């Protein structure tokens, strides 16, 4: 299977295939003590109405990086937190499993995967990948492992499905190739009036037999060696403002030297998160060199999620050996001796 993306139409036609495995990896950022707070990672226009009884709180609006005074945003977006009446009012924010929303509504047959269970709890940097053995155990518990099955991953978020592309990348890195992401995710599926189910889905455990493909995981040392190497392309997947250093996020300001900026949010139609046409995407990306079979490509972002979305898009266009710098800017900027470049003073 060379394609990394399937359409809602394709999934609807194949929903009853016994060899199909569907995984909902919905994840939110949640306030400690809250029962229904979540971040929307899309530019906020001010036109949407809150749910009944809920209030909105625009965070990061007035925050700046102390040293540079650059505005603080994440991936170029205004982060909109919806706090429902019974949500907590104090505490920090953390990743929150979407198990609750999965049980409320999901694509029939889909199991839910907790993204936190697929991150290394002892990792030096936030949300880095598990070891192969630990991942194999988690994947097998989700019913993933039989190479004759085909896995489709989606999430229920708004915007690009980088939670889904993250699991897509992890599965491929650990040696499972028959996997794709659902175009437009659950939002597109529901908007088209396709069937949904509720309740918990219990997967049948299987043995995961893949082997790690180290070439799909870039280390900080490999990224350092790639700087200025004409045979390698480092892709910054963050927003143009992040890349130029106009904003401060993920512990640093600017971009890794010699990296090029291909914003992960530029490959889809914001109306329904469907992908731009194949020919249009190829025409946009071909001049960058990232589709050149002779180039090694490494993608990074803030914490290793948006970078997997770019890897997914490049893979779908034929570039199947893209490596992801898992630690991304969190890891790079943790050592102040590592260089960053900006386009602003």
- Selected catalytic residue, list 87, 301, 312, 313: 301
| Ramachandran angles phi, psi of 316, nearest 5° | -65, -20
Residue appearing with tokens 């592309």: 165
C-alpha 125/C-alpha 12 separation (Å) is 39
- Which stretch of DSSP H or E encloses residue 80? strand 79-83
Strands 27-31 and 93-97, bridge-based pairing: antiparallel
User: Residues near 282 by Cβ (< 8 Å), separated by ≥ 6?
Assistant: 291, 317
Given a contact cutoff of 8 angstroms between Cβ atoms, the answer to whether 108 and 15 are in contact is yes
Is 301 a catalytic site residue? yes
Whole-number Å distance between alpha carbons of 319 and 234 = 14
Q: For residue 29, give both structure tokens.
A: 């950022």
What φ, ψ does residue 286 adopt, rounded to 5°? -55, -45
Cα gap 67→248, rounded to integer Å? 10
Contact call for residues 128 and 218 (beta carbons, < 8 A) = no
| Cα 229 to Cα 95, 233, 292, 299, 300, distances in angstroms | 36, 8, 15, 15, 17
For residue 235, which of 161, 166, 303, 289 has the smallest C-alpha distance?
289
Cite the active site residues: 301
């Amino acid at each position: 299977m060379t394609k990394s993306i399937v359409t809602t139409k394709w999934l609807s036609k194949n929903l009853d295939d016994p060899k199909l495995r569907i995984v909902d990896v919905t994840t939110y950022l949640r306030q400690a003590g809250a029962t229904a707070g979540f971040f929307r990672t899309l530019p906020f226009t001010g036109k949407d109405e809150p749910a009944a009884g809920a209030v909105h709180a625009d965070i990061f609006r007035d925050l700046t990086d102390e040293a540079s005074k650059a505005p603080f945003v994440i991936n170029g977006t205004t982060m909109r937190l919806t706090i429902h009446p019974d949500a907590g009012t104090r505490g920090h924010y953390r990743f929150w499993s979407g198990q609750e929303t999965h049980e409320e509504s999901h694509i029939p047959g889909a199991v839910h995967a907790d993204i936190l269970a697929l991150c290394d709890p002892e990792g030096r940097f936030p949300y880095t990948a598990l070891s192969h053995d630990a991942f194999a155990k988690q994947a097998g518990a989700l019913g993933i492992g039989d190479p004759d099955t085909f896995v489709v991953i989606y999430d229920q978020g708004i915007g690009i499905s980088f939670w889904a592309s993250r699991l897509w990348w992890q599965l491929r890195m650990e040696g499972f190739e028959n996997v794709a992401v659902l175009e437009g995710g659950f939002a597109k599926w529901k908007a088209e009036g396709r069937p949904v189910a509720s309740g918990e889905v219990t997967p049948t455990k299987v043995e995961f037999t893949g082997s790690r493909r180290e070439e799909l995981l870039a280390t900080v040392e490999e990224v350092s060696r790639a700087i200025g190497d004409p045979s390698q392309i480092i892709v910054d997947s963050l927003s143009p403002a992040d890349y130029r250093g106009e904003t401060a996020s993920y512990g640093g300001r600017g971009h890794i030297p010699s990296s090029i900026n291909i914003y992960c949010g530029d490959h889809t139609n914001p109306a329904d998160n469907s992908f731009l046409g194949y020919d249009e995407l190829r025409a946009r990306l071909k001049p960058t060199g990232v589709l050149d079979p002779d180039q090694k490509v490494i993608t990074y972002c803030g914490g290793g999620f948006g970078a997997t979305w770019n890897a997914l898009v490049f893979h779908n266009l034929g570039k199947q050996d893209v490596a992801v710098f898992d630690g991304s800017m969190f890891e790079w900027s943790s050592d102040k001796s590592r260089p960053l470049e900006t386009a602003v003073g």
